[in-house]
Chains A and B, each alone.
Chain A
Amino acid sequence: MTGLAVEIRDLHVVRGGRRAVDGVTFTVPTGQVTGLLGPSGCGKTSLMRCIVGVQVVEGGTVSVGGIPAGAAELRDRIGYVTQAPSVYDDLTVEENVRFFARVLGVPASEVGRCIEAVDLADHRTQVASRLSGGQLSRVSLAVALLGSPDLLVLDEPTVGLDPVLRRDLWGLFHRLADAGTTVFVSSHVMDEAERCDRLLLMRQGRLLADAAPADLLESTGARSVEHAFLTIVDTVS
């Protein structure tokens, strides 16, 4: 596993006539869990779509492992979990994962491994439409894990999950990062921030902060990331 670093320079995205991403510059290093935090509508999804190469970009550059984002040679090296679970709700868990495994051309053994990694082995033969929201998003996550991609882009993968499961998944993200994978996770829940190695705080399409959680608390003198966020917003305005 090599890991793919992400480099974003002066990125601008316009969606529905609004500036969804408004001049953002940062890098996502390999071998770490980098968190993108900010309120709903601040541009997290738009930004992640740029990295995966499915978003029309207004200006700026996005490169992944030194290659322009969206290039064909990156497509089987990035695992992407969309915010709304993107699975076929009329297929079983296993059929869903097996289909995407075939598309990616990874060995069939990956199917079972990834289903187990998200703790869905008991629901293997269940049709996706009968799963709970949290289970559904884990099927989506299982698909993203197929073939151990070098970069994982996870758009709010743990929202609405049981705290125990949430802890387990963050444990999984860190194990993957330790093995060299670049893990980029978004969330609008500020208390997830402490689980990241590095934090990007975003608001209204702009980046407010880029620091390790401890450094952020220290520099703002805040008790929690949520307070740090408020402190930064207050000093900016």
Chain B
Amino acid sequence: MSARILFAVAGRVLTQLRHDHRTAAMLLVLPCLVLTLLWWMFDDRGFGFDNLGPPLLALIPFIVMFLVTSVTTLRERSSGTLERLLAMPTGKLDLLGGYAIAFGLVAAVQSALAVFLSVWVLGLDIAGPVWMLTVVAVADAVLGTALGLFVSAFARTEFQAVQFMPAVVIPQILLCGLFIERALMPPVLEAVSNVLPLSYAVDAMTTVATTSSPGLGGVDGSVWGDLAVVAGFAVVSLALGAATLRRRTA
């Protein structure tokens, strides 16, 4: 691995985003609009927004980064730049790590905006420390990026890549505890939800929002446990992504 190449890749991905004003705007503004819509929908009744706001703060960076990453890497494959990079001294982890850093940074800005709006403008009640919401959101975003990198290896066109969203993301949204508490699901589905990373991301976000604790970072120890699971999934996905990236192709 080379730090020089890692940061060259991250910088290049961010430069591409800077040129693409529309995507950049959507990345930053869309989450805020969705949260505002949610707040407006419950019309100041309080309970709905307070219950659904935190899970959405976890879901949005995950979904958005999953989509953006799988399409960007697919473009890298089809434009021949991937072949060129792999013919150069680029390590596979330089490439994947560079993507993770770039989209992790974007997610940090994205969730800082969303958290600021939710807490200080829309009045979302947060029991734990507000900055922890952003930490969890960045972990979710890196997870989305890592899964997107892995899954893009199985798509040949951007059209196919977008189809992975319903396949990979929607089941996780259904089973993450947003619609019904995971403990109340049929045992089989609860077991399935226990092995899906998004469940842990949403648990972490909900715990930060609803509890406070004198522990490390002002949050319950379970938050760090959940974060470790999310990070673990991200690392495994990145490793799998590296394994599917072949220097030599047929």
Contact = CB atoms under 8 A, between A and B. Distances in A.
A85 interface: yes
B53 to A, nearest CB: 34
28 contacts: A53-B247, A53-B248, A55-B248, A55-B249, A57-B248, A75-B87, A75-B88, A76-B88, A80-B87, A85-B80, A86-B79, A86-B80, A86-B81, A86-B84, A90-B16, A90-B19, A91-B12, A91-B15, A91-B16, A99-B15, A100-B84, A102-B4, A102-B8, A102-B11, A103-B9, A103-B89, A104-B89, A143-B84
Interface residues of A, number: 33
A75 B89 contact: yes
Interface of A: 14-16, 52-57, 70, 72, 75-76, 78, 80, 82, 84-91, 95, 99-100, 102-105, 127, 143
B83 A88 contact: no
B4 A105 contact: yes
B16 A54 contact: no
Contacts of B90: 103
A86, A104, A105 — most chain B CB neighbours (10 Å): A86
B1 to A, nearest CB: 13
Contacts of A86: 79-81, 83-84
Contact of A88 (B4, B12, B87, B88): B12
Contacts of A95: 12, 15
B83 A54 contact: yes
A56 B250 contact: yes
B117 interface: no
A82 B247 contact: no
B9, B12, B84 — most chain A CB neighbours (10 Å): B84
A54 to B, nearest CB: 6
Nearest to A86: B80
Contact of A70 (B88, B89, B247): B247
A52 to B, nearest CB: 5
Interface of B: 4-5, 8-9, 11-12, 15-16, 19-20, 79-81, 83-90, 247-250
B16 A103 contact: no
Nearest to B79: A86
Nearest to A92: B19
Nearest to B78: A84
Contacts of A88: 12, 16, 79, 81
B89 A54 contact: no
A133 to B, nearest CB: 14
A80 B83 CA distance: 10
Nearest to A75: B89
B84 A82 contact: yes
Contacts of A84: 79-80
Contacts of B86: 54
B8 A99 contact: yes
A15 B87 contact: no
Contacts of A75: 87-89
B175 to A, nearest CB: 36
A75 to B, nearest CB: 5
